[in-house]
Amino acid sequence: MAGSRRFKTLDALYICMMVLPLAVGMILKAVFGSPGSGGIQITGAMVFFIIPQIGLPITESQVNSWLVMISITGLCLFLTHGMTEHVQTKRQHLAEWCVEKCEKLVRENMGPYFMSFAPFIAAILALSAFSSLTSLLGLFPPTSDLNVVAGWAILVFGLITAAKCKCGPGLYLKSFLEPIPVMLPMNIISEIATPISMAFRHYGNVMSGMVISVLVSAGLTALSSAVLGWLPGFLGEIPFLKVGLPAVLSIYFDVFSGCLQAYIFALLTMLYVSGGFPMEEFLRRKDAKKKKTADQAV
């Protein structure tokens, strides 16, 4: 029951599962991060340690990715905890709204046949958006690491290729010769460019937002020192011109742009998978198989 001690205890555990990973990320940032030396600093993900046997670096982006996934899992468990058919709570309404919106998005962009992709698309949206939003907590967003986004793109490329091979690898290989055989090199380049473009589009937009924010913040600090440095005492050291605009830029680049890039990545995934699936040939073969089975039964 919703009011029982066990229910409340599980709620508290799920909330801790949402909050504690992000708190751990901020603690790691404070412990391992080097103090700023002033000026403009744009660096990549911090390396915590390297596994000596295989030389694999464990970076800030990898750790933050796992922390975000744990937080998202806690959020999902919290929203679906106590879900019933008749008694509906606000969290259940929110969970159902998220599911309905995601299913509607898949239905409109992929079609009814691909409704099984709805959980995967929801996972992409949540992981990408929440990864970008971690910058609001002072963490390094995993979406600013090309390696992370490239891994997502390779996974999506595997799904695209699997969809294209649904009617057999022969039909997929034959598509490289269309519309004419001389297009083979261009079709191969186009196929390889799909995951590369998805990765660089997502990474470039998120990373460029970070760079612009840092440059504007540093520029406003220098301008404030040049214009208002004549103020007496500590007042001349306060970057008054830095107040306001960086926050507005953060709302755009960290919140709006981050969520927008998550939507674009998910949208491209849906369009590439559904567009590469040979629906007409698949239905034709399915109907032929049904007809053959019916003839054998007679």
- Summarize pLDDT for 105-126 with one digit per residue, the tens: 999 999 898 999 999 999 999 9
Q: Is the residue at 72 inside a domain?
A: no
Residue 190 confidence (pLDDT) above 80:
yes
- Looking at the whole model, is its pTM more than 0.85? no
Higher pLDDT, 242 or 8: 8
Tell me what pLDDT residue 37 has: 47
Contact between 47 and 59 (Cβ < 8 Å):
yes
Please tell me the total count of domains within the chain.
1
Higher local confidence (pLDDT), 190 or 241: 190
| pLDDT tier for residue 296 given thresholds of 50, 70 and 90 | confident
CA 165 to chain centre: 26
- Residue 98 belongs to a domain: yes
Say whether pLDDT at 69 is over 50: yes
Higher confidence at residue 298 or residue 145? 145
User: Mean pLDDT across the stretch 134-153?
Assistant: 88
Q: Which pLDDT belongs to residue 23? A: 92
Does residue 170 sit within a domain?
yes
Within-domain flag for 65: no
Is residue 261 domain-resident?
Answer: yes
**Residue-number span of the structural domain to which 163 is assigned:** 83-297
**Domain-located, residue 236:** yes
- Judging by beta carbons within 10 Å of its beta carbon (0-12, 13-18, 19+), is residue 82 exposed, middle or buried? middle
Given this model, what pLDDT does residue 144 score? 87
pLDDT surpassing 90 at residue 16: yes
pLDDT of residue 117: 92
Structural domain contains residue 17: no
Q: Residue 7: is its pLDDT beyond 90?
A: no
pLDDT of residue 1: 55
d(CA 264, CA 60): 25
In a domain, 107, yes or no: yes
| Residue 38 confidence (pLDDT) above 80 | no
Radius of gyration of the chain (CA): 25
Contacts of 211 (CB under 8 A, 6+ apart): 42
